[in-house]
């Protein structure tokens, strides 16, 4: 069991790309920490610096208060599982899993017992004498996990280990990973760009953008109280919708204008201490897709929107529409029922609403949408920081 501490970790590659920028983070003993962020934000580089596979430009890596920044990978007692599994193709499952133990000159009987025990745990007992070519993607993934587990490392590093699996297998492997972690509680750092994986697996999640740590917290904290617009947009699927609006009214009755309509901001929301500063000034409102519902009929507190796309997911529908601007109504008449198309070049922004599967929607036909502002988020239009 181990604590991993990163202090001001920085990586600048030759050529000048700063992939990781002054990142400080402590991963607790037995914790499952997920690093998430968009492609190229520096997740793998962080992992590789913890493993010792990449030199650190500045800052330090500590394991259990021991500074290991310049230690060779082998000396760190860390196991890393890669996206492509990196199994030895000429070795059987048994040999792949036992290889690290052989290198350590572990007693043969003890090593055999360890490998068989771990193979059994991962449901690989019947496949133990097969070579990787004769295994499915999910089975290979389990061998890669098993190979890391037999060593009982101080720290587990996993770099998108499920990304090569089909959707169904990914779900079952996710559950398996969670179960293994429950049982062994090895300190784990897990990289993914899939926020569903992050939400379901992480004790805590660290969100990174452009090499900088944005926020670290439990899945619930990140979802409910994102520190800025980036984190808010990253956590939740489909993502949060944003628009710059102006808050009107008086301190006791705050309103915002959207799509040419005035919406009253509920008291519990507008009583947030910092929001008063934005009265009469622009502020960014963030609305999750679930904040919308189909209204029975058009009214004063509905958005008149034109569906540009309808995605049926079986038990719910995602309705895509053009982001309403504060002043003008969003209803545009679709001539002869011809669906409106989004003009990519003009940068038209799409919003998404999550509605019930029974919603009767036709592309191009206007519908009234009710907006629930109880779950509205607000952000400063310049800094992007959350208005708390």
| Nearest Cα residue to 173 out of 144, 138, 221 | 138
User: Any contact of residue 19 with ligand ATP (CB under 6 A)?
Assistant: yes
**Backbone φ and ψ of 297, nearest 5°:** -150, 160
CB of 50 to ligand ATP, least distance (A): 12
Interacting residue with ligand ATP among 27, 34, 44, 147 (CB under 6 A): 44
CB of 199 to ligand ATP, least distance (A): 17
Strand partners, 151: none
User: Any contact of residue 40 with ligand ATP (CB under 6 A)?
Assistant: yes
User: Any contact of residue 88 with ligand ATP (CB under 6 A)?
Assistant: no
Residue 141 has which token pair?
A: 């993934």
Distance CA 99, CA 150 (A): 10
How many Cα neighbours within 13 Å face the side chain of 251?
6
Q: Which strands, in side-by-side order, build the sheet including 18-27?
A: 18-27, 4-12, 58-63, 66-67
CB of 11 to ligand ATP, least distance (A): 8
User: Any contact of residue 346 with ligand ATP (CB under 6 A)?
Assistant: no
CB of 202 to ligand ATP, least distance (A): 16
Site for ligand ATP in 181-240 (CB under 6 A): 193
Beta carbons within 8 Å of 198's beta carbon, 6+ residues apart: 34, 36, 192, 205, 219
Answer yes or no: are the C-beta atoms of 124 and 157 closer than 8 Å. Answer: no
CB of 14 to ligand ATP, least distance (A): 7
Q: Mark out the alpha helices in 19-136 (DSSP H runs).
A: 43-51, 93-103, 108-121
Interacting residue with ligand ATP among 1, 8, 13, 136 (CB under 6 A): 13
Nearer to ligand ATP, 53 or 387 (CB): 53
Residue 42 has which token pair?
A: 């520096």
Site string for ligand ATP, 265-304 (x = CB under 6 A): ----------------------------------------
User: Any contact of residue 43 with ligand ATP (CB under 6 A)?
Assistant: yes
Distance CA 44, CA 123 (A): 29
- Return the range that interacts with ligand ATP (CB under 6 A); candidates 35-43, 59-67, 163-171, 273-281: 35-43
* Count of residues that interact with ligand ATP, criterion CB under 6 A: 13
Distance CA 225, CA 231 (A): 9
Nearer to ligand ATP, 39 or 346 (CB): 39
Residue 6 has which token pair?
A: 């990163």
Interacting residue with ligand ATP among 8, 17, 274, 312 (CB under 6 A): 17
- Return the range that interacts with ligand ATP (CB under 6 A); candidates 32-40, 73-81, 179-187, 217-225: 32-40
Interacting residue with ligand ATP among 16, 39, 337, 341 (CB under 6 A): 39
Angle, alpha carbons 346-238-21 (nearest 5°): 80
Interface positions with ligand ATP (CB under 6 A): 13, 15, 17, 19, 37, 39-45, 193
């Amino acid at each position: 069991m181990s604590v991993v501490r990163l202090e001001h970790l920085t990586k600048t590659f030759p050529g000048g790309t700063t992939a990781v920028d002054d990142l400080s983070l402590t991963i607790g003993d037995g914790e499952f920490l997920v690093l998430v962020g968009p492609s190229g934000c520096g997740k793998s580089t962080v992992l590789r610096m913890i493993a010792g596979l990449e030199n650190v430009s500045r800052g330090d890596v500590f394991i259990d208060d021991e500074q290991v920044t310049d230690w060779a990978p082998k000396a760190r007692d860390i196991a890393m599982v890669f996206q492509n599994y990196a199994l030895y193709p000429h070795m059987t499952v048994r040999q792949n899993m036992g290889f690290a133990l052989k290198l350590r000159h572990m007693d043969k009987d003890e090593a055999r017992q360890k490998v068989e025990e771990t193979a059994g745990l991962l449901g690989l007992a019947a496949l133990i004498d097969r070579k990787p070519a004769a295994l499915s993607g999910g089975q290979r993934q389990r061998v890669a996990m098993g190979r890391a587990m037999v060593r009982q490392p101080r720290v587990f590093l996993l770099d998108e280990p499920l990304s090569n699996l089909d959707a169904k297998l990914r779900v079952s492997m996710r559950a398996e990973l969670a179960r293994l972690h429950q049982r062994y509680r090895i300190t784990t750092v897990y990289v993914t760009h899939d926020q569903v994986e992050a939400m379901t697996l992480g004790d805590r999640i660290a969100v990174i953008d452009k090499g900088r740590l944005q926020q670290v917290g439990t899945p619930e904290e990140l979802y409910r109280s994102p520190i800025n617009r980036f984190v808010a947009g990253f956590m939740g699927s489909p993502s949060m919708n944003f628009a710059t609006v102006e808050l009107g009214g008086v301190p006791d009755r705050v309103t915002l204008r959207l799509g040419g309509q005035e919406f009253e901001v509920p008291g519990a929301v507008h009583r947030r201490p910092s929001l008063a500063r934005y009265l009469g000034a622009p502020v960014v409102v963030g609305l999750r897709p679930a904040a919308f519902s189909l209204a029975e009929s058009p009214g004063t507190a509905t958005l008149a929107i034109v569906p540009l796309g309808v995605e049926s997911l079986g038990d719910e529908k995602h309705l895509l529409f053009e982001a309403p601007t504060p002043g003008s109504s969003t209803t545009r008449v679709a001539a002869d029922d011809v669906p409106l198309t989004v003009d990519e070049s003009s940068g038209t922004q799409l919003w998404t609403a999550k509605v019930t599967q029974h919603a009767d929607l036709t592309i191009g036909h206007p519908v009234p949408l009710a907006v629930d502002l109880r779950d509205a988020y607000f952000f400063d239009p310049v800094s992007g920081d959350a208005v708390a």
